[in-house]
């Protein structure tokens, strides 16, 4: 569960949106030399001390399936921003393989790379990266303009997305006239307007106030449900990762520590570093009831929750009911859960208990 995914070079399944294989990035004047040292078995600190080169990513391998929100979580300096920039090659890796929708990104010519950036990956930035000299609608239409879409069509598309992110009426404003949350909605709309299969989000909500951030997270989850995009989301906030992630990879010092579903990471942290995060986290929000329920046929319960419910959603129901049912999309009961199970799951890794 907490082991690294099996790495078999050359076998990249087509249902993957993004596959990274042994991607290594070394910053410095002579990365190849430092890479040779690293491959000869020296540790990163040794390489750093000997060559004065910084190891940004260390043999990172990730499989990101289509249509999921994949979160890369790590503290500052863990290499997560470096990682996401490899997907659209804003940063060139020192070695490794990056395949997006079955195409090797590293083999693209400059021209192909531009076409790829215009049509297949859109990006949202922590610092928004909006053009201060353009109005909101021209910012949202920017990607389409670069792609060569005609003016009327791109403004129409942009207007639609501005409405979707709830900024109607601000079309002609300048970015600086908007609050941080509104600016990031513009950034999000700009990426969505491109209608790419993949969206890269680099700490997209980190610069926002907690309440606004929570609202943006809900909006992102909603959007993902209706649009079915593949979203690679970078964050340093474990709570955020647990809330929006279908799968989470934890990065530390440029190396992947653990990949898994949010529950996997909360219930079975791979090492002490991850356990430290887990200790601080609101587990009731992280754990889905379906992952700890009694699965199978039982008498229908009076109260029930959907299979997407988290522990915190089910807690109030225990005040009145001993058992709460869990139902799927069609309303069929697929299992049931009791307060004891929830308490056990939440308490499992709390220090000093159990």
Return residues touching another protein (CB under 8 A). 88, 90, 113-119, 121-123, 125, 127-133, 142-143, 146-147, 174-176, 194, 200
* Smallest separation, CB 168 to another protein (Å): 22
Token output for 317: 């129901």
Of residues 125 and 238, the one with the C-beta less far from another protein:
125
- Which residues share a beta bridge with 335? 295, 326
* Smallest separation, CB 72 to another protein (Å): 17
Of residues 200 and 309, the one with the C-beta less far from another protein:
200
Of residues 200 and 256, the one with the C-beta less far from another protein:
200
* Smallest separation, CB 164 to another protein (Å): 19
* Smallest separation, CB 131 to another protein (Å): 6
Of residues 138 and 275, the one with the C-beta less far from another protein:
138
Backbone angles phi, psi at 41, to 5 degrees: 105, 5
The answer to whether 57 touches 66, Cβ cutoff 8 Å, is no
Of residues 83 and 122, the one with the C-beta less far from another protein:
122
* Smallest separation, CB 177 to another protein (Å): 8
Return d(Cα 159, Cα 145) in angstroms, integer. Answer: 14
């Amino acid at each position: 569960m907490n082991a690294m995914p099996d790495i078999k070079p050359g076998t990249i399944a087509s249902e993957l949106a993004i596959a990274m294989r042994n991607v290594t990035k070394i910053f410095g004047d002579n990365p190849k030399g430092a890479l040779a040292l690293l491959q000869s078995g020296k540790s990163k600190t040794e390489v750093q001390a000997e060559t004065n080169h910084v190891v940004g990513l260390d043999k990172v391998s990730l499989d990101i399936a289509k249509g999921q929100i994949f979160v890369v979580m790590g503290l500052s300096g863990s290499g997560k921003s470096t990682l996401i920039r490899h997907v659209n090659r804003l940063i060139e890796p020192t070695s490794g393989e990056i395949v997006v929708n079955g195409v090797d990104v590293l083999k693209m010519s400059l021209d192909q790379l531009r076409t790829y950036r215009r049509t297949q990956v859109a990006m949202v930035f922590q610092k928004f990266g909006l053009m201060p000299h353009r109005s909101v609608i021209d910012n949202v239409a920017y990607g389409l303009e670069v792609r060569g879409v005609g003016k009327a069509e791109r403004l129409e598309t942009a207007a639609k997305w501005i409405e979707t992110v709830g900024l109607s009426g601000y079309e002609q404003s300048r970015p600086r006239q908007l609050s941080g949350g509104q600016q990031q909605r513009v950034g999000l709309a700009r990426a969505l307007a491109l209608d790419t299969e993949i969206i890269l989000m680099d700490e997209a909500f980190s610069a926002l106030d907690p309440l606004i951030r929570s609202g943006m997270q809900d909006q992102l989850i909603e959007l993902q449900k209706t649009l079915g995009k593949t979203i690679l989301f970078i964050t340093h906030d474990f709570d955020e990762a647990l809330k929006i992630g279908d799968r989470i990879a934890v990065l530390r010092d440029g190396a992947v520590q653990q990949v898994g579903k949010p529950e996997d990471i909360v219930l079975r942290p791979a090492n002490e570093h991850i356990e430290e995060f887990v200790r601080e986290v609101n587990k009731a929000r992280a754990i889905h009831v379906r992952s700890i329920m009694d699965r199978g046929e039982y008498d229908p319960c009076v109260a029930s929750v959907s299979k997407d419910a988290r522990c915190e959603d089910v807690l109030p129901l225990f005040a009145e009911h001993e058992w709460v049912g869990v139902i799927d999309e069609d309303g069929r009961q697929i299992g049931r859960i009791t307060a004891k199970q929830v308490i056990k799951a939440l308490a499992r890794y709390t220090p000093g208990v159990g």
